[in-house]
Structure 1
């Protein structure tokens, strides 16, 4: 039987499967996914008190993001892209983002470019 080691580094960079856990004011949060040469890759999931809050899927310089209400319904969904500004790397919203209420009803849509909202559309 093969074992999969977690939380490993190679040449000082996170690599392979990682499980990151924190506790703040008795509230536990965790994230799990994979690193490749210190960069998140593939699917990452974040939880607070064992409920999923975020699911991110990294592919090259893009990330598909789904954030959830504590009811389990989708809160927002969209893409971000990795950009470097003044030697600082950031993930900025890009393209179409949809926002939902806690019952899963669409509230509106925003169109982003490099983190800046260009247009907003709201449902009635």
Structure 2
């Protein structure tokens, strides 16, 4: 008797190992004083850590993911403490990560969500 096979999501739905650049926060396009410092994150499944940049400071920590049901949890991690012009965006970005409990993917757009509320943040796949 053969083992039942588990269907995994298509590779395009796999959000790990990719760089996701922030485009919207709480339904509003981000406005950066320094566009070169666009917040982003990536998920590393080797050690189950996320890392990225909030625009001013590096961010990182551990995460848990259940891709088959599109659930995610970012755990509070480390952050550097440098002040800059885009701290409001950075704070909102960090709060969106820590508040998210699920996500959706539509093409190259990733949306982080909490429960069934409006999206917390939208990201575009960095190529």
Shorter-chain TM-score range: 0.3 to 0.5
Computing the radius of gyration over CA atoms, which structure comes out larger, 1 or 2? 1
Hey, which of these two has a bigger chunk of helix by percent? Answer: 2
Q: TM-score, normalised by structure 1?
A: 0.37
Q: TM-score, normalised by structure 2?
A: 0.37
Using CA pairs under 8 Å that are at least 6 residues apart, name the structure with larger relative contact order, 1 or 2: 2
Hey, which of these two has a bigger chunk of strand by percent? Answer: 1
